[in-house]
Amino acid sequence: ARAQGKTAAAHLAHLVIHGVLHACGHDHERPEQAALMERIEVALLARFGIADPWRG
């Protein structure tokens, strides 16, 4: 988290959301799957006031 300029809480939230999306059947093997998963992650993190982790 520190190397990416994120708080530990923000990084953990991202990891949890990412894992839950996988558990719900999402994947990121193909570019369109990755783009969808990223959009969902960003939207969910924003609900908790956490910045987009992909736009450092």
Which sequence spans correspond to the domains of the chain? Answer: 2-47
Do residues 48 and 29 touch, judged by C-beta distance below 8 A? no
Number of Cβ within a 10 Å radius of residue 52: 13
What is the C-alpha to C-alpha distance for residues 37 and 49, in angstroms, rounded to an integer?
A: 18
- This model's pTM is above 0.85: yes
Is 22's pLDDT higher than 80? yes
Per-residue confidence (pLDDT) for residue 1, from 0 to 100: 78
Q: Is the pLDDT of residue 56 over 80?
A: no
**Residue 29 carries which DSSP code?**
S
